């Protein structure tokens, strides 16, 4: 089993290039199936979630041609199957975006119902409410979601989401873009990846206005056409490296980013005592002196992202004073704090939504397990700051969303390796 082994204590220094956004790409790939014409997507991150979704669309008949590691050509003309295998949904929740795109194009789709996961129950009632408002019949049978446009084609409607949901907003945009008439989505998610999806669809001939604001207006079109599109930079990968600089007392420039997307992250880094300099497409984080305690609450965009909550908590374990982190998006996203406490952190979770962190002088390396993607990244950050060696198990979760995570950290001077055996661990410890 692959692990990361880290020798902590080196301040990270230098610059790192950020990949395309995983959560944007997960929406753009199903969007490519809304046309029979070829869609070329560049700046795709080479991470397992994306590769699994590409396999899923190939399995239903789409032609997927890899132009290079980060560029793919998708041809939806050959899609022949409207039902997506449970295996894909089990591996990657976002396969359910194929519901929106297949329903939108063919008036019919069947995808396994995604279950909850380690961070929360993650219901999909808002997706279903949206599909039904567009005139689809939605049946839940034997663990499958079957949707059919009752009149052959979906019909635009006025939809108000009771909960701000990235997934529901994306699924309904995908379904509504070729519906008959106009759709208005109120209380949508405003994340950069929602805007990216709208931009790609508009480049294919869609008419979507207001993505990124409180109301999205879609004028249904009869057909979409080919496009070439570049995925936006990954806000969360960038934020993770920014916090890696903070937690190690380093000086790191994250390059190929959109600084505007990083504002809530930048603002928290400034609160805890880091200097942050913004340039056109890069941001430099310099951590001088000890970190300071702060309060933070996760919120939908433009608030502080829940996907940065574990990395922020890892940094606050070393901040002077008492910090609180409130998780308002998912009900079970503090599981990893037990692992940080095993490294010497002092975190008390109250109820399921608040972590109270008493800053400590230092963390100690330990053998820990990544419970999920972002918590895994946070444990690596803690290991980079800790005294001694940290072994992180279950790095398959980290590989879901970070391309070459250890290689990029090595490029910043970190002492981290990916290993598969005890011998490799011993060899690293002798050399580090
Ligand atoms: C997306 O998940 C991201 N995934 C998540 O990133 C991210 O944590 C999350 O948005 C919040 O920003 C992708 O983009 C593929 P939601 P999603 O629907 O769409 C509740 C990562 O680490 N809700 O915005 O599943 C839900 O339970 C991942 O990259 C309903 O109640 O999140 C949650 O409490 C993890 N009913 C809240 O809304 C619904 O029908 C927000 O969830 C839908 C959601």
pLDDT digits (tens, 9 = 90+) for 255-276: 999 999 999 999 999 999 999 9
Cβ–ligand 1 contact at 306 (below 6 Å):
yes
pLDDT at 290 (0 to 100): 94
- 3 state DSSP class of 358: strand
- 3 state DSSP class of 86: helix
Q: Is the CATH number of domain 3-19+233-431 3.65.10.10?
A: yes
Residue ranges of the domains in the chain?
Answer: 3-19+233-431, 22-230
Cβ–ligand 1 contact at 333 (below 6 Å):
no
CB hemisphere CA count around 145 (13 angstroms): 25
Which among 93, 74, 89, 100 is positioned nearest to 170, based on CA atoms? 100
d(CA 358, CA 316): 8
- Where the chain has pLDDT below 50, the residues are none
Which among 302, 237, 213 is positioned nearest to 45, based on CA atoms? 237
Secondary structure letter of residue 95 according to DSSP: G
Active-site residue, 117 included: yes
pLDDT at 421 (0 to 100): 92
pLDDT at 89 (0 to 100): 86
123 neighbors 137 (Cβ within 8 angstroms): no
Which among 222, 149, 125 is positioned nearest to 181, based on CA atoms? 222
CB atoms within 10 A of CB 221: 18
Burial class (CB in 10 A: 0-12, 13-18, 19+), 65: exposed
CB atoms within 10 A of CB 351: 8
Look at ligand 1, atom 39, and give the residue with the nearest C-alpha: 124
d(CA 30, CA 39): 11
Cβ–ligand 1 contact at 117 (below 6 Å):
no
Strands of 83-84's sheet in order across: 83-84, 108-112, 144-149, 136-141
Catalytic residue among 58, 67, 77, 117: 117
CATH no. for 22-230: 3.65.10.10
Q: Do domains 3-19+233-431 and 22-230 have the same CATH topology?
A: yes
Identify how many contiguous H helices and E strands the chain contains and give both numbers: 15, 26
Cβ–ligand 1 contact at 373 (below 6 Å):
yes
Residues 226-239: tens digit of each pLDDT: 999 999 999 999 99
pLDDT at 114 (0 to 100): 85
84 neighbors 113 (Cβ within 8 angstroms): no
CB atoms within 10 A of CB 73: 16
């Amino acid at each position: 089993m692959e692990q990361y082994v880290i020798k902590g204590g080196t301040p990270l220094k230098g610059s790192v290039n950020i990949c395309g956004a995983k959560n944007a790409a997960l929406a753009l790939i199903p969007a490519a199936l809304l046309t029979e014409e070829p869609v070329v997507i560049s700046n795709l991150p080479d991470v397992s979630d994306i590769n699994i979704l590409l396999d899923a669309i190939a399995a239903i008949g789409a032609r997927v041609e890899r132009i290079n590691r980060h560029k793919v050509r998708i041809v939806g003309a050959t899609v022949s199957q409207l039902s997506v295998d449970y295996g894909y949904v089990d591996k990657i929740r976002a396969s359910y975006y194929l519901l929106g795109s297949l329903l939108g194009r063919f008036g019919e789709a069947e995808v396994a119902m995604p279950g909850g996961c380690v961070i929360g129950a993650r219901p999909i009632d808002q997706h279903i409410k949206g599909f039904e408002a567009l005139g689809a019949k939605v049946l839940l049978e034997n663990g499958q979601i079957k949707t059919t446009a009752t009149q052959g084609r979906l019909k635009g409607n006025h939809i108000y989401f009771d909960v701000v949901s990235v997934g529901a907003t994306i699924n309904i945009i995908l379904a509504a873009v070729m519906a008959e008439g106009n759709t208005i989505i109120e209380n949508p998610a405003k994340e950069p990846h929602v805007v990216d999806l709208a931009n790609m669809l508009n480049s294919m001939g869609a008419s979507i206005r207001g993505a990124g604001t409180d109301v999205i207006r879609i004028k249904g079109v009869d057909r979409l056409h080919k496009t070439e599109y570049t995925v936006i930079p990954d806000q969360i990968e960038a934020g993770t490296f920014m916090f890696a600089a903070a937690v190690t007392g380093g000086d790191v420039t994250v390059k190929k980013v959109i600084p505007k997307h990083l504002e809530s992250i930048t603002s928290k880094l400034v609160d805890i005592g880091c200097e942050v300099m913004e340039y056109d497409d890069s941001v430099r984080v310099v951590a001088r002196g000890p970190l300071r305690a702060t309060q933070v609450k996760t919120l939908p965009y433009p608030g502080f992202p829940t996907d940065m909550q574990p990395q922020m908590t890892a940094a606050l374990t070393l901040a002077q004073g008492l910090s609180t982190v409130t998780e308002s998006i998912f009900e079970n996203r503090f599981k990893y704090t037990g692992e940080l406490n095993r490294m010497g952190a002092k975190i008390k979770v109250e109820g399921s939504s608040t972590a109270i962190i008493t800053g400590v002088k230092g963390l100690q390396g330990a053998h820990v397990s990544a419970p999920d993607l972002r918590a895994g990244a946070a444990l690596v950050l803690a290991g980079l700051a800790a005294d001694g060696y940290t072994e992180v198990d279950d790095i398959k979760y980290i590989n879901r969303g970070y391309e070459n995570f250890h290689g990029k950290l090595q490029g910043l001077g970190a002492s981290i390796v990916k290993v598969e055996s005890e011998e490799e661990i011993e060899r690293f410890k002798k050399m580090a």
